[in-house]
Amino acid sequence: MKSLRRARSLPAIALAALVLSSSAATVSGGFWAPGDPEERAAALLADMSDEEILGQLFMLAYPGDSPPELLYAWIRQRGLGGVKIFGWNAEDTTKVAEAVAALQKAALATKRGIPLLIATDQEGGWIRHVKGRTSQTPGNMAIGASGRPYDAYWTAYYIGRELDALGINMNFAPTVDLATRPKSPIIGPRAFSADPESSAALGIAYYRGSRAAGVIATAKHYPGHGDTELDSHGTLPLIGVNEATLWARELVPFRALAAEGVPAMMSGHIAFPRISGDQLPASLSKRFMTDYLRGRLGFRGVAVTDDLMMAGATGPGLALSDAFLLAVEAGNDLLEASRILALDDAAWTKLLAAYRARPAFRARVREAACRVLALKLEYLRPKGKAGLVPDAARLPSRLPDPEGEAFFRGQAYRAVSALDAGDLPWTPRGRLLVAAPFTEFFVAAEAVFPGASTFKFSYRPELAALPAELTAFERALMRADAVLVCVASEAGMDFYERARSLGKKVAVVSVFSPAPLARCKAGDAAVAVYGSSRACFDAGLEALAGQEAAMGRLPLTIPLAR
């Protein structure tokens, strides 16, 4: 690995020269031949066609649970670099494994036999694109609440083992955005905490756990998506911080992970006009992707874009093909898209034309392809061809990971945080009403507070409760002396406040971000868990009742209205 790190420290011009000077004769043995990953990547590149080189930069997705012929055409004709598995592909883990096996077999059967990067978003907690038989985990903010790198490492390790069973070799995690805006609907409990140094330490531990499982970790969303409540899927967030603030706050985890050697980082579709002087997303900005990421942060791995079909990428009035072109010019190496492009899509034809006509762009593409190939050689070659093709018949013994299930349950208990430990235990008297948006919360509550009646309200909308549901809730309150509310958003706190206004004894179990707990009043017991798994519900309810200690600490500052 020392030679790989040494090669990655070469400046871009030297790396391009290495690629251009490699003899085609050295490619004998192809992708699977032994040798230094950077040297093998350069040798492979020297013998590849223009289309095969450019194809390594593309990571495409597909609809449904079975890849269509068009995706296989990309693999056969273009040497496609990777495939992204989204939630709409992944309700059935058996079908995921079958699809990945078919895609990898197609890639291995091509002339070059270069395998695919197969990526997904399996951060844990809130973001779990591959569902089915995979583990439900407490998530990043639970790790921040326990404050233990141990929890970050083993979370990534067990998630990685499950992904490996499915043939998924790249995880778009860890998320190291900060909870700078705790009410953010896009980051929220995906952040470890609001603290830069703690997030950096936990992010490094997460990367190491993923590496131990043989899965490529991807730190995101560079240079930091936490200081906005806008969602870059639907708009381009503008973050008004200056360079000094960004360097000392949002960039701290990314700086640490770059120094640690994280193999990939994802660029975010977020703009910093006070730093760049324009409203171009950082993902498409050479200042952020080359001058900062490669220069100041010293990052030597693969830079992958967030989905270029998000409004944050094309919001500044760009055509999709322009976004792809700018992403490469800025310094990205892997271009993610949430659908399959037509073989003659402008995003392809424009880049291929630029590759053939512009020497500087050609060198940039070759540099990017060399990084992608080296990443594959480092992480995928050791698995061997058979190790890249999942066996769906073996999934029942590997999913959920039996060791991981026990670990994640223990982690849920380590993360429970009390808003005020002096308010625990909560001992309701008389008739108890449990209100929640999750059916499984009622099952968990019955085990701790048997005989309680229940009221289910909608998970959405998130900002305010539905008036009709509040009216129905008031009727249910007439038959209750005490109320326990499961709060997953600001809307949940509307039910808490309505019960309190009617003189009921109220307690809260918060899931996901604990930011809504700022509305709690003095004397009302509240505990925070950070996910919606049964283990999280059990841990929170038992801590509320005093059956277990609330061992975690709130990972962000909550300005209480108490």
Catalytic positions are: 306
Q: CA triplet 507, 529, 523: central angle to 5 degrees?
A: 25
Are the C-beta atoms of residues 48 and 27 closer than 8 Å to each other? Answer: no
Give the per-residue SS3 of 457-470.
CCCCCCCCCCHHHH
Cα–Cα distance list, 478 to 322, 473, 482 (Å): 60, 9, 10
β-pairing, 58-60 with 82-85? parallel
Are the C-beta atoms of residues 200 and 168 closer than 8 Å to each other? Answer: no
| Residue 295, C-beta contacts closer than 8 angstroms, at least 6 positions apart | none
Are the C-beta atoms of residues 173 and 257 closer than 8 Å to each other? Answer: no
Q: What distance in Å separates the CA atoms of residue 142 and residue 145, rounded to the nearest whole number? A: 5
Nearest to 2 by CA among 378, 383, 382: 378
DSSP H helices, 389-481, are 395-398, 402-415, 439-448, 467-477
Strands in 302-305's sheet, in edge-to-edge order, are 302-305, 264-267, 216-222, 170-171, 117-120, 82-85, 58-60, 335-336
Strands in 453-456's sheet, in edge-to-edge order, are 417-418, 526-528, 505-510, 482-487, 432-436, 453-456
Phi and psi, residue 46, nearest 5°: -65, -20
Expressed in angstroms, the distance from the first to the final Cα of the chain is 55
Q: What distance in Å separates the CA atoms of residue 293 and residue 300, rounded to the nearest whole number? A: 9
Nearest to 269 by CA among 281, 278, 257, 279: 281
Q: What distance in Å separates the CA atoms of residue 372 and residue 115, rounded to the nearest whole number? A: 11
